[in-house]
């Protein structure tokens, strides 16, 4: 690894520890370390290429802390036949049936049946199933809570985000809302809370007392859902993780 790489070299994985990724940022004012639970790695934010030597040294000094943080992450839930994953707050077994070809992925009891010819396509089909289910549930919840507020949802997007469960932008009177697909792995009431939370931003674009009053008006257990997310967020990011 060169002493001082160029911007084009970033993101840059640490040769000594591939779990550490150096990320360049001109906007950052200091070196910082962030645990990325979804990727099960640590990002070291480098405030400009000139700071890279210090950032590398800082990461070496934080090696014990990094080990502790990554080892504390919940066990991974890879998308493999016979594995268990969290879905709507419950454990479901992933099953690859014999002789089903490319039939539709579906739920049967506490199983998710995923017809697939190989491991690579199996994992992809599981992910697409979860995204499809998340989009359906989140679109329905978003329209439900928007109607309570006499507002309109223009677009609902579902992505794989690592820092936010949702975000809302209001344009021309319509809410454009983006969610993490991982919410489909949480209990239904937690998914509903995040939808209510983002719809409330169409009234109050902040987290003021007025905003939380809107949330409490349209959703019954804001505090309980928030507690669940704060405690179990890393478990949602473990879904689909391979190691």
- 170-189 tens-digit pLDDT: 988 899 999 999 999 999 99
> For residue 242, what pLDDT is reported?
84
Q: Tell me the average pLDDT across 83-104.
A: 88
Omega before 11 within 30 of 0, i.e. cis: yes
CATH 3.30.2010.10 residue ranges for the chain: 84-238
Specify the range with the lowest mean pLDDT, choosing from 1-10, 165-174, 206-215.
Answer: 1-10
% of the chain exceeding 70 in pLDDT: 97
Q: Are 150 and 130 in contact (CB under 8 A)?
A: no
Q: How many CA atoms lie within 13 A of 20 on its CB side?
A: 24
- Torsion region of 240: left, alpha or beta (phi above 0 gives left; psi -120 to 50 gives alpha): left
Residues sharing a CB contact under 8 Å with residue 130, sequence separation 6 or more, in sequence order:
87, 181, 184, 185, 239
Instruction: For residue 242, give both structure tokens.
Output: 């391979």
104: phi then psi, degrees, rounded to nearest 5: -65, 140
SS3 132: helix
Say if residue 1's pLDDT is above 60: no
Q: Tell me the average pLDDT across 182-200.
A: 98
Q: What is the mean pLDDT of the chain?
A: 93
> For residue 212, what pLDDT is reported?
98
SS3 78: coil
Q: Are 39 and 23 in contact (CB under 8 A)?
A: no
Instruction: For residue 106, give both structure tokens.
Output: 């579906």
Instruction: Determine the Cα–Cα distance for residues 154 and 173; give it in Å rounded to an integer.
Output: 9
> For residue 100, what pLDDT is reported?
58
Tens digit of each residue's pLDDT (9 = 90 or more) over 39-48: 889 999 999 9
SS3 157: strand
SS3 97: coil
- The DSSP annotation for 166-216 comes to EEEEEETTEEEEEEEGGGGGS-HHHHHHHHHHHHHTTT-SS-SHHHHHHHH
> For residue 99, what pLDDT is reported?
60
Instruction: For residue 81, give both structure tokens.
Output: 């036949």
Q: Tell me the average pLDDT across 118-134.
A: 94
C-alpha distance from residue 116 to each of 64, 112, 128, 208, 232 (Å): 41, 12, 13, 48, 30
Q: What is the CATH code for 84-238?
A: 3.30.2010.10
Q: How many other CB atoms are found less than 10 A from the CB of residue 11? A: 11
- What pLDDT band is residue 163 in, cutting at 50, 70 and 90? confident
Tens digit of each residue's pLDDT (9 = 90 or more) over 13-24: 998 899 999 999
Instruction: Determine the Cα–Cα distance for residues 238 and 243; give it in Å rounded to an integer.
Output: 9
| pTM, rounded to two decimals | 0.87
SS3 86: strand
């Amino acid at each position: 690894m060169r002493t001082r790489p160029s911007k084009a070299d970033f993101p840059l994985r640490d040769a000594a520890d591939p779990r550490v990724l150096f990320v360049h940022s001109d906007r950052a004012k200091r070196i910082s370390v962030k645990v990325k639970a979804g990727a099960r790695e640590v990002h070291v934010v480098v405030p400009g290429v000139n700071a890279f030597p210090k950032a590398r040294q800082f990461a070496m000094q934080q090696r014990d802390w990094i080990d502790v943080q990554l080892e504390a992450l919940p066990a991974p839930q890879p998308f493999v036949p016979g594995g268990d994953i969290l879905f709507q707050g419950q454990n479901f077994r992933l099953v690859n049936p014999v002789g089903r070809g490319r039939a539709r992925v579906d739920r049967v009891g506490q199983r998710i049946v995923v017809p697939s010819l190989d491991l690579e396509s199996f994992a992809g089909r599981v992910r697409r199933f979860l995204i499809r289910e998340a989009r359906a549930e989140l679109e329905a919840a978003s329209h439900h809570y928007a109607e309570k507020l006499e507002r309109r949802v223009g677009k609902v997007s579902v992505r794989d985000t690592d820092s936010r469960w949702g975000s809302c932008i209001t344009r021309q009177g319509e809410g454009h809302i983006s969610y993490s697909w991982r919410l489909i792995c949480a209990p239904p009431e937690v998914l509903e809370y995040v939808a209510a939370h983002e719809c409330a931003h169409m009234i109050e674009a902040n987290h003021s007392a007025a905003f939380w009053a809107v949330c409490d008006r349209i959703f019954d257990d804001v505090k309980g859902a928030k507690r669940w997310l704060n405690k179990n967020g890393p478990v949602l990011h473990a879904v689909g993780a391979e190691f």
